[in-house]
Amino acid sequence: MPPIDPAELVRGVRKDEAWIDTAESFRIRLEGTWTRTTEAIAISTADLKRKFPSTEISEARFPELNPQTHEKIDLGFDRRRMHVNIESQDGGRVMRKSLWDGQLEFTHEKYSSGQEHYSLAKNHEHLARFFIGNLPCFRAGPHRYWWEPRGGPGRPEDCRLAGRGQFRGHDCWVVETEILFWTYYIGVEDRRLHGLTRFVLPRGYESRSWPIEQRIASEFGHPVSSKQEYKEWEKSLPKDEKVAMLKRYYVAIRPIVRPQFTHFFDDYQELAPSCWLPMKMGYDHWGRDSEPAAISATREMRVISVELNQPLPDSLFEISMNEGVRLFDRRYDPPLGYTYRKGISAEEMDAIIADARQKQEEMNARVSAQNAVVGTIAPSFPPGQWLNSPPLTWPDLRGKVVILDFWSDRCGPCRSYLPMSVDIHKERQTTGIVIIGIHTAGSSLESVQKLMKEFDITYPVCIDTPPPQGEVSFGKFFGQLGVSAIPNSIVVDQGQKVVAHGDLPSTLAKARELAQGN
């Protein structure tokens, strides 16, 4: 038997699906089922209880806890238009219809709660991604049709044969990409793609990847002492040298990756000469944080009908709008949000646009105020009421990376971040990151303590003092750090310098970077 060329195997499966790029029109109807594992539902339930401790957690209130969701999918396109319609029998969103009519992207969504909304946009990029996301079978490589979706598992020449094995009852060649994290399962006999797994790096991988990056940089004759230095060196590499470096990096780091999606394809049928399509397809979704890695949900899809190069009815690309429904209009900069009404006057639209621009200017001013604080020394903590801790000073925190989490018991969105804040505090011994809550001035102590008990907050919380007379802010410390909207958070480095601001996930990522010495 001649040696197996993995690049040729990959080129073959890409060729098998390339007919979609030259199709004059295509329409497919599928029926699908989302099945969630018992373990995944238990994890979601626990997470929801942490986020909403005073709310009844049930399938009726939180559709993501339903063991199964059934759906009907209708996808279609021709040379200038695109259509997506998904109806769900269970779950929070019961209908989504999106289309591109050659000029505008239009979406109508309905929810089981009775709410609905429309959205408009000048381009079709979001719809194109959504279309491909609901049709797993065109995943072997990038496609360039008129919507030009980007991405893909990399170049065939950057693949290696990892062996031979069974995939869902098929005898397959297992082919891994040397750059990026993908694995193909290609039939030994039929040479068709039966599976494709995408892998991702686990959360907190930076500490494990840094020694690998240092070693590879040294092997290429360029020792580095920080992540920033490594990134600058990587950007400076000539193309060929960068490819060689990336191959070495991805091979070295592959042992720590974990699966994110495993796509599967079966029951291929020939729609037209050389136009093959799997009549059964779907994917397993793997839990990001489960140890060991485990599937959290499976989406199975069965083709009900398919039409290739047949005229599509104009009705597919029409949506009627009802008055009184919220409309998100992304045709403008900044985007507009208003209640749709037929015959809205030019004067009314001008007022809506002016209001959106004013809000954008206010937001830009808030961001500028916080940007101005970055790089400065954090001011002393206010002499307010401290909970869960005696009053702290910056000398007490010297050498620590600190996240200041600004919030209020009267702020609904703030509550969604409190479980993350609690987790940051629990992991402080491992991460070296300290979190301190900064509460707005003016709330009753009893109200703050009640919410802290509800969310099991045991980290230090300082209730800010009122702002100076004449200053409009949530408190004196808020004003000193330019915080005029909540929830918000700020990172202070080991030397008391403000280094970042933003939402809690983004500032936590920066704090981890600093704590790891990168």
| Of 205 and 357, more confident | 357
Domain co-membership, 387 together with 416: yes
pLDDT in tens, 226-251: 878 888 999 999 988 988 898 888 88
Domain co-membership, 107 together with 168: yes
**Is 388 within the bounds of a domain?**
yes
Query: 369, 398, 420: which is the final residue of a domain?
Result: 369
Domain co-membership, 28 together with 88: yes
What is the model's pTM? 0.82
Q: Where residue 159 sits, what CATH number does that domain have?
A: 2.50.20
**Is 215 within the bounds of a domain?**
no
Domain co-membership, 330 together with 478: no
Domain co-membership, 25 together with 160: yes
pLDDT in tens, 250-296: 888 888 889 999 999 999 999 999 999 999 999 999 987 777 888 99
Domain co-membership, 74 together with 129: yes
C-alpha angle with apex 11: 6 to 12, nearest 5 degrees?
A: 95
Percent of the chain residues topping a pLDDT of 90:
61
* Residue 378 near residue 483, CB atoms below 8 Å: no
Q: Rounded CA gap, 277 and 204, in Å?
A: 39
Does residue 28 surpass a pLDDT of 90?
yes
**Is 209 within the bounds of a domain?**
no
Q: Rounded CA gap, 440 and 376, in Å?
A: 22
**Is 207 within the bounds of a domain?**
no
The three-state secondary structure class of 109 is: strand
* Residue 501 near residue 488, CB atoms below 8 Å: yes
The alpha carbon torsion through 229, 230, 236, 240 (nearest 10 deg) reads: 170
Instruction: Please report, in angstroms and rounded to a whole number, the separation of the first and last CA atoms in the chain.
Output: 50
pLDDT of residue 8: 96
Give the CA distances from residue 206 to residues 255, 278, 421, in Å, rounded to whole numbers and listed in that order.
14, 39, 20
**Is 339 within the bounds of a domain?**
yes
DSSP per-residue codes, 3-32: PP-HHHHHHHHHHHHGGGGG-S-EEEEEEE
Domain co-membership, 434 together with 473: yes
Q: Could you tell me which residues are beta bridge partners of residue 38? A: none
Domain co-membership, 348 together with 478: no
Residues 6+ apart with CB under 8 A from 15: none
Q: What is the mean pLDDT of the chain?
A: 90
Q: Could you tell me which residues are beta bridge partners of residue 259? A: 199
pLDDT of residue 226: 84
* Residue 391 near residue 381, CB atoms below 8 Å: yes
Domain co-membership, 349 together with 379: no
Indicate the burial class of 515 (C-beta count within 10 angstroms; 0-12, 13-18, 19 or more): buried
Amino acid at 383: P
Which domain range does residue 77 map to?
6-202+257-308
pLDDT in tens, 452-467: 999 999 999 999 999 9
Q: Where residue 485 sits, what CATH number does that domain have?
A: 3.40.30.10
Q: What is the H or E stretch that residue 84 is in? A: strand 82-88
Domain co-membership, 403 together with 269: no
Q: Which two tokens stand for residue 176?
A: 């891994």
Indicate the pLDDT class of residue 1, thresholds 50, 70 and 90: low
**Is 230 within the bounds of a domain?**
no
**Is 269 within the bounds of a domain?**
yes
Strands 116-121 and 326-329, how do they pair? parallel
Structural domains counted in the chain: 3
Residue 88 has a CB neighbour count (10 Å cut-off) of 21
The alpha carbon torsion through 196, 202, 206, 212 (nearest 10 deg) reads: -50
Domain co-membership, 273 together with 388: no
Question: 3-state SS of 157-198?
Answer: HHEEEEEEEEECCEEEEEEEECCCCEEEEEECCCCCEEEEEE
Domain co-membership, 303 together with 341: no
pLDDT of residue 476: 94
**What is the arrangement of strands in the sheet containing 461-463, beginning at the earlier edge strand?**
385-387, 461-463, 433-439, 401-407, 488-492, 498-502
**Is 105 within the bounds of a domain?**
yes
Residues 6+ apart with CB under 8 A from 97: 84, 85, 86, 107, 108, 109, 319
DSSP per-residue codes, 413-456: HHHHHHHHHHHHHHTHHHH-EEEEEEEPTTS-HHHHHHHHHHTT
pLDDT of residue 128: 83
Indicate the pLDDT class of residue 72, thresholds 50, 70 and 90: very high
